[in-house]
Amino acid sequence: MVENQTKLNFAGLWLLVLLLLPALVLWPVYSNDIDFPFYAHNILIITAPVFFLRYIFFIKYSFIEKTIIPKLIFMPVALILGIYSYVILNDFIGFYNNNGIYYSLESFSLDKQEFLGNYLFRQFIFLVHLPLSHA
């Protein structure tokens, strides 16, 4: 009984993290009312790894610890989401190569345009610092 309560508490905590993380990461975008065409994709790219990390590293604290069927389902789903995330990332980079990193930020000051443009780009690609053209 105590073990199930611990698993339930951990699942609730993980769900809270899963809901708060995209909200915190996307708050600068949402609060500035930016026309960002990749909201849903960005939420998926943020939440999917966090969701699957739970089952990779903390499986003993989940309800599927001793079952095989959900684990067999999660493997191909994780693979498909990984491939889909790669496609989304390529679409995102292609969109910003065609439209520029400061797309839809004309109404802000130059400093804010630079900050928000770089933030949008870098947070989407997991803070990987790619060379950005400032043309």
- Domain assignment present for 116: yes
d(CA 115, CA 2): 48
Confidence (pTM): 0.77
Angle, vertex CA 41, rays to CA 40 and CA 46, nearest 5: 100
pLDDT tens for the chain, residues 1 to 135 = 677 888 888 888 989 999 999 999 999 888 988 888 888 888 888 888 888 888 878 777 777 878 888 888 888 998 898 888 888 888 988 988 898 888 788 888 999 988 888 888 888 876 444 444 444
Q: Is residue 130 part of a domain?
A: no
Q: Please state the domain count of the chain.
A: 1
Tokens found for residue 86: 């790669």
In a domain, residue 49? The reply is yes
What are the DSSP E strand ranges found in 8-124?
A: none
Domain assignment of residue 131, yes or no: no
Q: Are 25 and 125 in contact (CB under 8 A)?
A: no
Task: For residue 113, give its domain range.
Answer: 2-124
Residue 129 lies in a domain: no
